[in-house]
Amino acid sequence: MMKMLYALLVAAAVAAGVVLASELSHRDERILFASNPLVCDGDAERQGACLPYFRCDSYGGVVEGTCRVVGQCCVVERSCGQTSEARITYFTSKQYMISDTTCSVTISPSSSIAASDICQLHVTLEKMTLTEPNPDGEV
């Protein structure tokens, strides 16, 4: 009787293990990304952020390669009158040759990845032309 009870317990444990193993093997794959995405090198010597495959489009970015870990290198570019929520954004303006025009872009970190970690804004000007001052030294 004791042997039969023992055999029944072993059989139940094996069956439970098989069910558990089959449930685990059918789980959806999950990819975890840190809240602070990795910086990657995109095409055309620009930097982007490593994002999951579905996120680049939601930021209005362009995929410029893949990341070493997983995901894709997403490069975001904005122009006059546009807003960006991406961590790395390139601002370009084709209106720079038109005099007396104002061109602005809005950086909105409120819903950005790791928005609470953003504490500075880095601006690199590749080309900037300033108006010469008048004889009184005013612009």
What average pLDDT does range 80-88 have in this prediction?
85
Residue 57 covered by a domain: yes
In b/e form, how buried is each residue of 118-131, taking b as 16+ CB within 10 angstroms?
eeeeeeeeeeeeee
Per-residue pLDDT tens digits for 46-66: 889 888 888 888 888 999 988
Residue 63 covered by a domain: yes
Residue 128 covered by a domain: no
Per-residue pLDDT tens digits for 4-36: 444 444 444 434 433 444 444 445 444 444 445
Domain total of the chain: 1
Residue 101 covered by a domain: yes
Residue 83 covered by a domain: yes
Residue 60 covered by a domain: yes
In terms of pLDDT, which residue wins out, 36 or 105? 105
Range of the domain at 73: 39-117
